[in-house]
Amino acid sequence: MTSTGEPAISTTGLTKQYGRIAALAGLDMEVPRGNLFGFLGPNGAGKTTAVKLLLGLARPTAGTASVLGATAGDRAARSRIGYLPELFRYQGWLTAREVLGLHCELARISGPRRAAEIDAALKTVGLEERAGSRVGTFSKGMQQRLGLGVALLGSPDLVLLDEPTSALDPVGRHDVRDILRSLRERGVTVFLNSHLLSEVEQVCDRVAVVDHGRVVAMGTLDELLGGDTVRVRVVALEQRDGLGRFGQIDDEGEWLVVRGIVADRVPELVAELVRLGGRVYAVEPRHESLEDRFLGLLGNP
Amino acid sequence: MTLSLVIAREILREASRRRLLLALLLLTLAVIGLTGWGFSRIPTLTVAGQPMPEAQVKATASQLLILVMFMFSFVLSLAAVFVAAPSISSEIESGIVLALLSRPISRREYAIGKWLGLVALVAIYASAAAAVELAVVGAVTGYVPPHPVEFVAFMVGEGVVILTLALALSTRLSAMVAGVISAVVFGMAWMAGVAGSIGAFFHNDALVRAETVSKLLLPTDGLWRGAVFSLEPTAVLAAAGSSAGFAANPFAALTPPPLPYLAWVAVWLVVVLGFGIWSLERREL
């Protein structure tokens, strides 16, 4: 469970066609072990399809996927995977403890370990006081917490979470972020399927952005948000010849935005602006948010 | 415990928690109470002012018992359809199956577990209800059918056949559609049995062949005839001889189903359950 060696997830040309609709159109992706990996995309981008293919719940039309060193869907590998589906539903006639007990049995967690596993899961997701309540009486948020508890049973090496906070309030979302961080500290690989950019930005080590079934960008957050951006408030700039050598130049009224500039060259940029007749009032670094980058990648500036 | 048995246990736990068992218990007790009272009136009937002879009491009780058990088999089969049709399809529609099948359990084990649980449910209910009904009838009329164990086996078999069909269909169809199809073909099979009996009476080979084909395609009516035979007193069978009129009666059977037919029923169950497993294994979830 280190970041070296064989990746936790690897896909090559993974494709899923539903009739004439391509839910996934050649997904190439690697998730290093021990990473908290964000899988981002708009609704209908193919995120849930990808997770189902990784678990063998759906079969690929083309391409290959390996999970924890085995072919996706492999039975032995599944015993080391925890999964919270986007459509989280559990047997309403069972209590929370019984649902967890059932999944312990299916995951072949040995009898003596079960009680401790169940207690730990209930504590982690904050359902200790409702352990004996029927799931049918739970709110959606509580059911999602239970689903997260189910996914954490048996100390899995890989946890696949499909929109794990969609039904949670802000407190619940904060709790989930803490859980995700603790999983990372334990070396567990987490595949976080989400369209909540702030959530991904706060916790993920690496991110893949998927759109129309294809990865359009992948890397660490630093790589994805790429280089430095500087905003310069400059007036009376008569011409801009040669500014392109500093980076990508965008005009935002009185502000000139230079993307991808190397920090050491900022003084040189300012000098050049002055040389070109500009009067510089402010120079400030700007960090591009994941949302900016996401919208840019999807062609929605 | 194998994973199939875990899934099977959950069927029984669901039936208990969702009060299915309680509803069946109360309704069955009510029916047994009412029919028991009805049977208890038979020994008090008179013929020409004289109490009915014991042999006639038992013969009357046997025929009435067959009618009651026909209704019971009908209700049992429909109840089996109602329980089996949503067993897999509702878990697929609700998403419960996603979390279950992401565990190291194969779809084959899951489907077999569902089937085992449903079979256990039908067997427990049919055996208990039939045993109590037969005991009550025996207590109030003195009539005990000649083959009570075989009768229960045939009833359970009928329920298992129809639940297997509903379960197999529900791997692809919604619970509503799978249930409706199963209930309709059950009724058609019974009607084909009646038509075959009429064909036998009028020596119409086409009707008899249609009944034979129907019994092979869905063996519920064939098993029902076995249940009827198990309930008929020896004296009634002896009196009927090889009467064509007796054979034409859908509530009568001159002979039990032959062993090759019972072997076919076993093959049918394996094939239909196998189809259900095959279908589920290829379904996208």
Cross-chain residue pair A106–B96, CB shorter than 8 Å:
no
Cross-chain residue pair A78–B285, CB shorter than 8 Å:
no
Q: What is the pTM of this model?
A: 0.87
A contact test, residue of B4, B6, B12, B103 with most A CBs within 10 A: B103
C-beta neighbour count of B267 within 10 angstroms: 10
B70-96 per-position pLDDT tens digit? 999 999 999 999 999 999 999 999 999
In terms of Cα–Cα distance, which of B242, B262, B252, B265 is closest to B194?
B252
Nearest-CA distance A259 → chain B (Å):
44
In this prediction, residues B166-181 reach a mean pLDDT of 96
Q: Which helix (H) or strand (E) holds B46?
A: strand B46-47
In terms of Cα–Cα distance, which of A81, A48, A57, A65 is closest to A13?
A65
Spell out which residues of chain B touch residue A191, defining contact as CB-CB under 8 Å. none
C-beta neighbour count of B51 within 10 angstroms: 12
Residue A224 has pLDDT above 80, yes or no: no
* Residues 6 or more apart whose Cβ sits within 8 Å of residue A4: A33
Q: How confident is residue A227, by pLDDT bands cut at 50, 70 and 90?
A: low
How many angstroms separate the CA atoms of B248 and B201, rounded?
6
How many angstroms separate the CA atoms of A141 and B257, rounded?
56
How many angstroms separate the CA atoms of A35 and A27, rounded?
19
Q: What is the pLDDT of residue B136?
A: 95
Cross-chain residue pair A58–B284, CB shorter than 8 Å:
yes
Give the residue on A whose Cα is nearest the Cα of B284. Answer: A58
Q: What is the pLDDT of residue A85?
A: 95
Cross-chain residue pair A89–B102, CB shorter than 8 Å:
no
ipTM surpassing 0.90: no
In this prediction, residues B194-200 reach a mean pLDDT of 87
Cross-chain residue pair B3–A106, CB shorter than 8 Å:
yes
| Mean pLDDT for chain B overall | 92
Spell out which residues of chain A touch residue B104, defining contact as CB-CB under 8 Å. 75-76, 78-79, 106-108
B contact test, residue of A84, A86, A106 with most B CBs within 10 A: A106
Residue A2 has pLDDT above 50, yes or no: no
Cross-chain residue pair B102–A105, CB shorter than 8 Å:
no
A71-92 per-position pLDDT tens digit? 999 999 999 999 999 989 999 9
B225-235 per-position pLDDT tens digit? 999 999 988 87
How many angstroms separate the CA atoms of B279 and B170, rounded?
10
In terms of Cα–Cα distance, which of A58, A55, A104, A61 is closest to A81?
A55
Residue B179 has pLDDT above 50, yes or no: yes
Q: Report helix angle A96-106 to B3-17, nearest 10.
A: 160
Cross-chain residue pair B285–A52, CB shorter than 8 Å:
yes
Spell out which residues of chain A touch residue B101, defining contact as CB-CB under 8 Å. 57
CB B101, CB A78: distance < 8 Å? no
Nearest-CA distance B6 → chain A (Å):
8
Q: How far is CA A245 from the centre of its chain?
A: 34
Residue A155 has pLDDT above 50, yes or no: yes
A242-260 per-position pLDDT tens digit? 888 888 888 877 888 888 7
A106-147 per-position pLDDT tens digit? 999 988 899 999 999 999 999 999 999 999 999 999 999 999
Spell out which residues of chain B touch residue A18, defining contact as CB-CB under 8 Å. 284
What DSSP assignment string belongs to B118-168? HHHHHHHHHHHHHHHHHHHHHHHH----S-HHHHHHHHHHHHHHHHHHHHH
Chain B interface residues facing chain A, Cβ-Cβ under 8 Å?
1, 3, 6, 10, 13-14, 17-18, 94-96, 98-106, 284-285
> Is residue A279 helix, strand or coil?
strand
Residue A32 has pLDDT above 90, yes or no: yes
Give the residue on A whose Cα is nearest the Cα of B101. Answer: A57
Query: Over pLDDT 90: what percentage of chain A?
Result: 59
